[in-house]
């Protein structure tokens, strides 16, 4: 009887191990021989866009006196394990920038470094942009933008010798007036 119970417990343990291994097979199948840990910047491109019209006045993205691009970047491993989340909130001055710089893109100052070790590892970005017009008397904020970025989606800048994520604030985005 004791041998039968021991045998049943042993079989149960083996079956449990097989179930755990099967769940992780997807990640094991896409695991790389060695992880990659690139330094990553965010590159923001902003289309020439009418943010809002108020009577006879139009608020154009490139004419804002100040803008803030805020959000989070979260690392998610294959299998859904959340690793780390970083917040960002840089301010820039569209009115003082050339239209080419705004549309072709400019780098936000903070670099990030994440470890990628599977095809299915990714970064989740959740962002929004706020434009301030007339010395901050009028403020418009975009709806939330989300972007999922896999290692294969990273771009490489040979001049900076680093990777970047391209973020486009495109024409036709929806904005709401906030404050005032």
pLDDT digits (tens, 9 = 90+) for 45-55: 999 889 988 87
Give the H/E segment covering residue 146.
strand 145-150
Domain membership of residue 125 (yes or no) is yes
Is there a domain that residue 27 lies in? no
Query: Domain count of the chain?
Result: 1
Domain that holds residue 124: 35-178
Contacts of 130 (CB under 8 A, 6+ apart): 67, 68, 70, 139, 140, 141, 142, 178
Cα separation, 58 vs 139, whole angstroms: 13
Within a domain: residue 20?
no
- Least confident interval from 40-44, 49-53, 76-80: 49-53
- Asked if residue 163 lies in contact with residue 41, where contact means CB atoms within 8 angstroms, the answer is yes
Percent of the chain at pLDDT > 70 equals 84
| 171-174 contacts, C-beta under 8 A, 24 or more apart | 171/47, 171/48, 171/49, 172/49, 173/49, 173/142, 173/143, 173/145, 174/142, 174/143
Asked, for residue 98, whether it belongs to a domain, the answer is: yes
* Residue 109, CA distances (Å) to 42, 64, 106, 112 in order: 8, 20, 9, 10
Any domain includes 61: yes
Phi-psi category of residue 94: left, alpha or beta, with phi > 0 → left and psi -120 to 50 → alpha? alpha
Is residue 119 pLDDT above 80, yes or no?
A: yes
Asked if the model's pLDDT at residue 99 lies above 80, the reply is yes
Tens of pLDDT, residue by residue over 82-93, are 999 999 999 999
Residue 117 lies in a domain: yes
Instruction: Give dist(CA 42, CA 81) in Å, integer.
Output: 23
Parallel, antiparallel or unpaired: strands 162-169 and 39-46: parallel
Is position 17 within any domain? no
pTM of the model: 0.81
Q: What DSSP character marks residue 121?
A: -
Residue 22, in any domain of the structure: no
């Amino acid at each position: 009887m004791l041998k039968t119970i021991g045998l049943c417990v042993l079989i149960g343990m083996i079956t449990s191990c097989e179930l755990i291994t099967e769940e992780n097979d997807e990640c094991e199948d896409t695991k790389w021989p060695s992880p990659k840990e690139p330094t990553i910047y965010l590159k923001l491109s902003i289309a020439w866009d009418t943010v809002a019209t108020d009577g006879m006045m139009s608020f154009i993205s490139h004419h804002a006196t100040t803008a803030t691009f805020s959000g989070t970047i979260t690392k998610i491993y294959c299998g859904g394990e959340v690793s780390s989340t970083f917040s960002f909130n840089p301010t820039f001055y569209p009115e003082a920038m050339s239209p080419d710089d705004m549309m072709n893109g400019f780098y936000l100052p903070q670099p990030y470094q994440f470890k990628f070790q599977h095809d299915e590892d990714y970064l989740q970005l959740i962002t929004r942009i706020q434009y301030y017009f007339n010395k901050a008397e009028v403020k418009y904020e975009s709806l939330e933008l989300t972007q999922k970025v896999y290692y294969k989606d990273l771009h490489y800048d040979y001049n900076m010798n680093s990777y970047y994520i391209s973020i486009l604030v495109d024409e036709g985005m929806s904005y709401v007036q906030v404050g005032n």
